Amino acid sequence: MQFGIIGSGSWATALAKILTDNGNTIYWWIRNKDTMSTIKKRRHNPHYLGAAYFNTNQLILTCQVEEVIKHSDVLIIAVPSAYAIDALENLPKDVFKGKKIVSAIKGILPSTNQLLNTYLSKQFHVSIADYYSVLGPCHAEEVAAEKLSYLTFSGINETLAANIASYFKTDYINTKVNHDILGVQYAAVLKNIYALGAGIAHGLEYGDNFLSVYIANCANEMTSFCKKLVWDKESLEEQRSINYSSSVYLGDLLVTCYSLYSRNRTFGNMIGKGYSVKAAQLELNMVAEGYNASKCIFHTNQTLDANIPIATTIYKILWHQLPAQEGFKQIEETLY
Protein backbone atom coordinates (compact mmCIF):
# COMPACT_ATOMS: atom_id res chain seq x y z
CA MET A 1 0.00 0.00 0.00
CA GLN A 2 1.53 3.30 -1.09
CA PHE A 3 1.00 6.28 1.22
CA GLY A 4 1.13 9.97 0.38
CA ILE A 5 1.07 12.90 2.80
CA ILE A 6 -0.39 16.32 2.01
CA GLY A 7 1.00 18.87 4.48
CA SER A 8 4.35 19.65 6.08
CA GLY A 9 3.53 20.95 9.57
CA SER A 10 4.33 19.27 12.87
CA TRP A 11 1.58 16.62 12.68
CA ALA A 12 2.31 15.81 9.03
CA THR A 13 5.98 15.46 9.93
CA ALA A 14 5.14 13.15 12.84
CA LEU A 15 3.01 10.93 10.61
CA ALA A 16 5.79 10.83 8.02
CA LYS A 17 8.17 9.67 10.77
CA ILE A 18 5.81 6.89 11.87
CA LEU A 19 5.37 5.54 8.33
CA THR A 20 9.05 5.69 7.42
CA ASP A 21 10.10 4.15 10.74
CA ASN A 22 7.93 1.20 9.67
CA GLY A 23 9.95 0.88 6.47
CA ASN A 24 7.51 2.58 4.11
CA THR A 25 8.55 4.86 1.28
CA ILE A 26 6.17 7.80 1.08
CA TYR A 27 5.25 10.57 -1.33
CA TRP A 28 5.20 13.86 0.56
CA TRP A 29 3.82 17.19 -0.61
CA ILE A 30 5.86 20.11 0.73
CA ARG A 31 4.48 23.51 -0.23
CA ASN A 32 7.75 25.42 0.25
CA LYS A 33 10.69 24.56 -2.01
CA ASP A 34 13.25 25.77 0.52
CA THR A 35 11.77 23.46 3.13
CA MET A 36 11.91 20.58 0.69
CA SER A 37 15.57 21.32 -0.13
CA THR A 38 16.48 21.42 3.56
CA ILE A 39 14.79 18.09 4.26
CA LYS A 40 16.74 16.52 1.40
CA LYS A 41 20.03 18.00 2.60
CA ARG A 42 19.69 17.93 6.41
CA ARG A 43 17.23 15.00 6.77
CA HIS A 44 14.81 16.89 9.00
CA ASN A 45 12.03 19.47 8.71
CA PRO A 46 13.65 22.86 9.46
CA HIS A 47 10.43 24.33 10.88
CA TYR A 48 8.89 21.48 12.87
CA LEU A 49 10.12 18.54 14.99
CA GLY A 50 13.82 19.14 14.46
CA ALA A 51 14.57 15.97 16.43
CA ALA A 52 12.83 13.78 13.84
CA TYR A 53 15.39 12.61 11.27
CA PHE A 54 14.56 10.77 8.07
CA ASN A 55 16.19 8.33 5.72
CA THR A 56 15.77 10.45 2.60
CA ASN A 57 15.77 7.32 0.43
CA GLN A 58 12.27 6.72 1.85
CA LEU A 59 11.01 10.19 0.90
CA ILE A 60 9.74 11.24 -2.51
CA LEU A 61 9.30 14.96 -2.01
CA THR A 62 7.41 17.24 -4.36
CA CYS A 63 5.77 20.65 -4.51
CA GLN A 64 3.10 19.24 -6.85
CA VAL A 65 0.16 17.91 -4.85
CA GLU A 66 -1.27 16.08 -7.90
CA GLU A 67 1.92 14.03 -8.15
CA VAL A 68 1.46 12.80 -4.59
CA ILE A 69 -2.18 11.91 -5.29
CA LYS A 70 -1.38 10.14 -8.58
CA HIS A 71 1.19 7.79 -7.06
CA SER A 72 -0.54 7.03 -3.75
CA ASP A 73 -3.20 4.49 -2.77
CA VAL A 74 -3.85 6.16 0.59
CA LEU A 75 -3.65 9.93 1.03
CA ILE A 76 -3.17 11.47 4.45
CA ILE A 77 -4.44 15.05 4.51
CA ALA A 78 -2.59 16.79 7.35
CA VAL A 79 -2.82 20.52 6.72
CA PRO A 80 -4.44 22.86 9.27
CA SER A 81 -8.19 23.05 8.73
CA ALA A 82 -8.00 26.75 7.85
CA TYR A 83 -5.75 25.97 4.84
CA ALA A 84 -7.23 22.70 3.59
CA ILE A 85 -9.42 24.23 0.90
CA ASP A 86 -6.54 26.35 -0.42
CA ALA A 87 -4.48 23.18 -0.82
CA LEU A 88 -7.21 21.22 -2.61
CA GLU A 89 -9.66 23.51 -4.38
CA ASN A 90 -7.89 23.73 -7.77
CA LEU A 91 -7.53 19.97 -8.21
CA PRO A 92 -9.51 18.10 -10.90
CA LYS A 93 -12.90 16.86 -9.68
CA ASP A 94 -12.00 13.21 -10.29
CA VAL A 95 -8.52 13.37 -8.77
CA PHE A 96 -9.39 11.18 -5.75
CA LYS A 97 -11.12 8.43 -7.74
CA GLY A 98 -10.00 5.04 -6.45
CA LYS A 99 -8.10 6.56 -3.51
CA LYS A 100 -8.51 6.10 0.23
CA ILE A 101 -8.45 9.36 2.20
CA VAL A 102 -7.23 9.59 5.79
CA SER A 103 -8.00 12.90 7.49
CA ALA A 104 -5.43 14.03 10.04
CA ILE A 105 -7.20 17.37 10.35
CA LYS A 106 -8.39 18.21 13.87
CA GLY A 107 -10.89 20.87 12.96
CA ILE A 108 -13.78 22.07 10.83
CA LEU A 109 -13.05 23.89 7.58
CA PRO A 110 -13.87 27.42 8.78
CA SER A 111 -14.80 28.98 5.44
CA THR A 112 -17.52 26.38 4.79
CA ASN A 113 -18.26 25.16 8.32
CA GLN A 114 -17.85 21.56 7.14
CA LEU A 115 -15.94 18.49 8.21
CA LEU A 116 -13.40 17.44 5.59
CA ASN A 117 -15.50 14.42 4.53
CA THR A 118 -18.45 16.68 3.65
CA TYR A 119 -16.24 19.01 1.61
CA LEU A 120 -14.60 16.10 -0.25
CA SER A 121 -17.98 14.53 -0.95
CA LYS A 122 -19.43 17.72 -2.44
CA GLN A 123 -16.35 18.89 -4.34
CA PHE A 124 -14.69 15.63 -5.38
CA HIS A 125 -17.41 12.96 -5.00
CA VAL A 126 -15.43 11.07 -2.36
CA SER A 127 -17.59 8.39 -0.75
CA ILE A 128 -17.72 8.16 3.05
CA ALA A 129 -16.75 4.49 2.54
CA ASP A 130 -13.35 5.67 1.25
CA TYR A 131 -12.82 8.17 4.06
CA TYR A 132 -11.05 7.59 7.39
CA SER A 133 -9.69 9.71 10.20
CA VAL A 134 -6.65 9.36 12.44
CA LEU A 135 -7.08 11.00 15.84
CA GLY A 136 -6.20 10.59 19.49
CA PRO A 137 -4.05 11.93 22.32
CA CYS A 138 -0.84 12.10 20.34
CA HIS A 139 1.28 15.26 20.41
CA ALA A 140 3.69 15.49 17.50
CA GLU A 141 6.56 16.39 19.84
CA GLU A 142 6.15 13.13 21.76
CA VAL A 143 6.03 11.15 18.52
CA ALA A 144 9.35 12.75 17.56
CA ALA A 145 10.74 11.67 20.94
CA GLU A 146 9.27 8.16 20.42
CA LYS A 147 7.22 8.29 23.62
CA LEU A 148 4.44 5.71 23.63
CA SER A 149 1.23 7.13 22.14
CA TYR A 150 -2.14 5.82 20.93
CA LEU A 151 -3.85 6.58 17.62
CA THR A 152 -7.41 5.68 16.66
CA PHE A 153 -8.31 5.06 13.02
CA SER A 154 -12.01 5.50 12.33
CA GLY A 155 -14.07 4.45 9.32
CA ILE A 156 -17.45 2.93 8.65
CA ASN A 157 -15.63 -0.28 7.69
CA GLU A 158 -13.55 -1.22 10.72
CA THR A 159 -11.74 -4.01 8.86
CA LEU A 160 -10.37 -1.60 6.28
CA ALA A 161 -9.59 0.93 9.01
CA ALA A 162 -7.59 -1.76 10.82
CA ASN A 163 -5.67 -2.54 7.64
CA ILE A 164 -4.61 1.10 7.28
CA ALA A 165 -3.84 1.31 11.01
CA SER A 166 -1.46 -1.65 10.75
CA TYR A 167 1.01 0.48 8.78
CA PHE A 168 1.28 2.89 11.73
CA LYS A 169 1.85 0.43 14.58
CA THR A 170 5.39 0.75 15.94
CA ASP A 171 7.22 0.26 19.23
CA TYR A 172 6.05 3.74 20.24
CA ILE A 173 2.60 3.85 18.55
CA ASN A 174 -0.35 1.64 19.48
CA THR A 175 -3.33 1.74 17.15
CA LYS A 176 -7.06 1.30 17.77
CA VAL A 177 -10.05 1.37 15.43
CA ASN A 178 -13.69 2.38 15.65
CA HIS A 179 -16.61 3.11 13.32
CA ASP A 180 -17.70 6.50 14.70
CA ILE A 181 -16.30 8.54 11.81
CA LEU A 182 -18.41 11.65 12.51
CA GLY A 183 -18.30 11.55 16.30
CA VAL A 184 -14.51 11.29 16.58
CA GLN A 185 -14.06 14.27 14.28
CA TYR A 186 -16.46 16.46 16.24
CA ALA A 187 -14.88 15.31 19.52
CA ALA A 188 -11.50 16.45 18.15
CA VAL A 189 -12.99 19.82 17.29
CA LEU A 190 -14.62 20.26 20.69
CA LYS A 191 -11.55 19.23 22.71
CA ASN A 192 -9.58 22.06 21.09
CA ILE A 193 -12.23 24.54 22.21
CA TYR A 194 -12.22 23.16 25.74
CA ALA A 195 -8.40 23.16 25.86
CA LEU A 196 -8.42 26.79 24.82
CA GLY A 197 -10.82 27.40 27.70
CA ALA A 198 -8.50 25.51 30.07
CA GLY A 199 -5.75 27.91 29.03
CA ILE A 200 -8.01 30.90 29.69
CA ALA A 201 -8.74 29.51 33.17
CA HIS A 202 -5.02 29.15 33.84
CA GLY A 203 -4.41 32.70 32.64
CA LEU A 204 -7.14 33.90 35.00
CA GLU A 205 -5.29 32.08 37.82
CA TYR A 206 -7.85 29.41 38.54
CA GLY A 207 -6.24 26.42 40.27
CA ASP A 208 -6.08 22.68 39.63
CA ASN A 209 -9.20 22.00 41.69
CA PHE A 210 -11.29 24.19 39.42
CA LEU A 211 -9.64 22.82 36.29
CA SER A 212 -10.50 19.24 37.22
CA VAL A 213 -14.17 20.18 37.61
CA TYR A 214 -14.06 22.20 34.40
CA ILE A 215 -12.62 19.29 32.36
CA ALA A 216 -15.06 16.78 33.85
CA ASN A 217 -17.93 19.01 32.71
CA CYS A 218 -16.32 19.46 29.30
CA ALA A 219 -16.22 15.67 28.94
CA ASN A 220 -19.95 15.48 29.72
CA GLU A 221 -20.67 18.29 27.28
CA MET A 222 -18.64 16.59 24.53
CA THR A 223 -20.46 13.31 25.11
CA SER A 224 -23.82 15.05 25.01
CA PHE A 225 -22.96 16.71 21.69
CA CYS A 226 -21.69 13.46 20.13
CA LYS A 227 -24.69 11.48 21.33
CA LYS A 228 -27.02 14.05 19.83
CA LEU A 229 -25.12 13.75 16.57
CA VAL A 230 -25.13 9.96 16.63
CA TRP A 231 -28.82 9.72 17.47
CA ASP A 232 -29.44 11.47 14.17
CA LYS A 233 -27.08 9.22 12.16
CA GLU A 234 -26.97 5.74 13.65
CA SER A 235 -29.09 3.14 15.37
CA LEU A 236 -29.54 3.05 19.14
CA GLU A 237 -27.56 -0.22 19.33
CA GLU A 238 -24.54 1.33 17.56
CA GLN A 239 -24.74 4.45 19.75
CA ARG A 240 -24.58 2.34 22.89
CA SER A 241 -21.43 0.59 21.67
CA ILE A 242 -19.37 3.80 21.63
CA ASN A 243 -17.09 4.25 24.63
CA TYR A 244 -16.77 8.00 25.17
CA SER A 245 -14.22 7.38 27.93
CA SER A 246 -11.73 5.90 25.46
CA SER A 247 -8.54 7.55 24.30
CA VAL A 248 -9.89 9.18 21.13
CA TYR A 249 -12.57 11.03 23.13
CA LEU A 250 -11.71 11.57 26.82
CA GLY A 251 -7.99 10.84 26.45
CA ASP A 252 -7.52 13.45 23.75
CA LEU A 253 -9.52 15.98 25.77
CA LEU A 254 -7.35 15.44 28.84
CA VAL A 255 -3.98 15.75 27.14
CA THR A 256 -5.01 18.81 25.15
CA CYS A 257 -6.27 20.57 28.27
CA TYR A 258 -3.28 19.69 30.46
CA SER A 259 -0.23 19.39 28.22
CA LEU A 260 2.27 22.22 27.85
CA TYR A 261 2.64 21.10 24.21
CA SER A 262 -0.98 22.14 23.55
CA ARG A 263 -1.07 25.23 21.36
CA ASN A 264 -4.77 25.69 22.18
CA ARG A 265 -4.01 25.77 25.91
CA THR A 266 -1.14 28.19 25.26
CA PHE A 267 -3.36 30.43 23.13
CA GLY A 268 -6.08 30.43 25.79
CA ASN A 269 -3.56 31.24 28.51
CA MET A 270 -2.67 34.42 26.62
CA ILE A 271 -6.34 35.37 26.34
CA GLY A 272 -6.78 34.81 30.07
CA LYS A 273 -3.80 37.05 30.79
CA GLY A 274 -5.37 39.88 28.79
CA TYR A 275 -3.97 39.46 25.28
CA SER A 276 -6.30 40.31 22.41
CA VAL A 277 -7.03 37.49 19.96
CA LYS A 278 -4.86 39.17 17.33
CA ALA A 279 -1.94 39.67 19.73
CA ALA A 280 -2.17 36.03 20.88
CA GLN A 281 -2.15 34.82 17.27
CA LEU A 282 0.95 36.87 16.50
CA GLU A 283 2.72 35.69 19.65
CA LEU A 284 1.91 32.00 19.11
CA ASN A 285 2.85 32.02 15.42
CA MET A 286 1.04 28.70 14.99
CA VAL A 287 -2.57 27.76 14.27
CA ALA A 288 -4.70 27.21 17.38
CA GLU A 289 -7.55 25.17 15.91
CA GLY A 290 -9.87 25.96 18.82
CA TYR A 291 -10.29 29.59 17.80
CA ASN A 292 -12.02 28.94 14.46
CA ALA A 293 -13.57 25.76 15.85
CA SER A 294 -15.50 27.68 18.50
CA LYS A 295 -17.32 29.67 15.84
CA CYS A 296 -17.95 26.62 13.66
CA ILE A 297 -19.36 24.57 16.54
CA PHE A 298 -21.58 27.46 17.63
CA HIS A 299 -23.16 27.66 14.17
CA THR A 300 -23.37 23.86 13.79
CA ASN A 301 -25.21 23.69 17.08
CA GLN A 302 -27.89 26.08 15.87
CA THR A 303 -29.27 23.05 14.04
CA LEU A 304 -28.16 20.25 16.37
CA ASP A 305 -29.34 22.05 19.54
CA ALA A 306 -27.07 20.22 22.00
CA ASN A 307 -26.57 21.66 25.49
CA ILE A 308 -23.02 23.05 25.29
CA PRO A 309 -22.84 26.15 27.56
CA ILE A 310 -19.05 25.94 28.06
CA ALA A 311 -18.23 25.87 24.34
CA THR A 312 -20.79 28.62 23.72
CA THR A 313 -19.25 30.89 26.36
CA ILE A 314 -15.74 30.36 25.00
CA TYR A 315 -17.06 31.30 21.55
CA LYS A 316 -18.46 34.54 23.00
CA ILE A 317 -15.14 35.36 24.70
CA LEU A 318 -13.20 34.85 21.46
CA TRP A 319 -15.61 36.29 18.89
CA HIS A 320 -17.85 38.73 20.76
CA GLN A 321 -15.38 40.32 23.19
CA LEU A 322 -17.08 38.92 26.27
CA PRO A 323 -14.50 39.64 29.02
CA ALA A 324 -12.77 36.39 29.95
CA GLN A 325 -13.31 36.88 33.67
CA GLU A 326 -17.02 37.54 33.17
CA GLY A 327 -17.34 34.56 30.84
CA PHE A 328 -15.77 32.21 33.37
CA LYS A 329 -18.02 33.51 36.10
CA GLN A 330 -20.87 32.36 33.86
CA ILE A 331 -19.16 29.00 33.30
CA GLU A 332 -18.77 28.56 37.08
CA GLU A 333 -22.54 28.61 37.42
CA THR A 334 -22.97 25.72 34.95
CA LEU A 335 -20.46 23.32 36.57
CA TYR A 336 -21.41 20.49 38.90
Answer yes or no: is pLDDT of 253 > 70: yes
Provide the pLDDT for residue 230: 64
Answer yes or no: is pLDDT of 105 > 80: yes
Listed in sequence order, the residues at least 6 apart from 87 whose beta carbon sits closer than 8 Å to its beta carbon are: 6, 7, 31, 65, 77, 79
The pLDDT confidence band at residue 316, using thresholds 50, 70 and 90, is: very high
Residues 142, 223, single domain; the answer is no
**130, 145, 179 - which closes a domain:** 179
Provide the pLDDT for residue 272: 97
Residues 222, 272, single domain; the answer is yes
Mean pLDDT calculated for residue range 21-48: 94
Provide the pLDDT for residue 91: 96
Dist CA 166 CA 51 (whole Å): 24
Q: How far is CA 58 from CA 36, 40, 171, 248, 300, in A?
A: 14, 11, 19, 29, 41
Mean pLDDT calculated for residue range 96-112: 94
**179, 207, 230 - which closes a domain:** 179
Closest CA relative to residue 246, chosen from 137, 160, 170: 137
Residues 202, 120, single domain; the answer is no
Residues 42, 167, single domain; the answer is yes
**152, 179, 206 - which closes a domain:** 179
Q: What is the pLDDT of residues 239-251, one digit of tens each?
A: 667 999 999 999 9
- Residue 132, domain CATH: 3.40.50.720
Residues 110, 121, single domain; the answer is yes
Provide the pLDDT for residue 51: 87
151 three-state secondary structure: strand
Residues 294, 329, single domain; the answer is yes
Segments forming the whole domain that contains residue 307: 182-334
Residues 10, 157, single domain; the answer is yes
Q: What is the pLDDT of residues 219-244, one digit of tens each?
A: 999 999 998 886 545 555 566 679 99
Provide the pLDDT for residue 285: 78
Structural domain total, the chain = 2
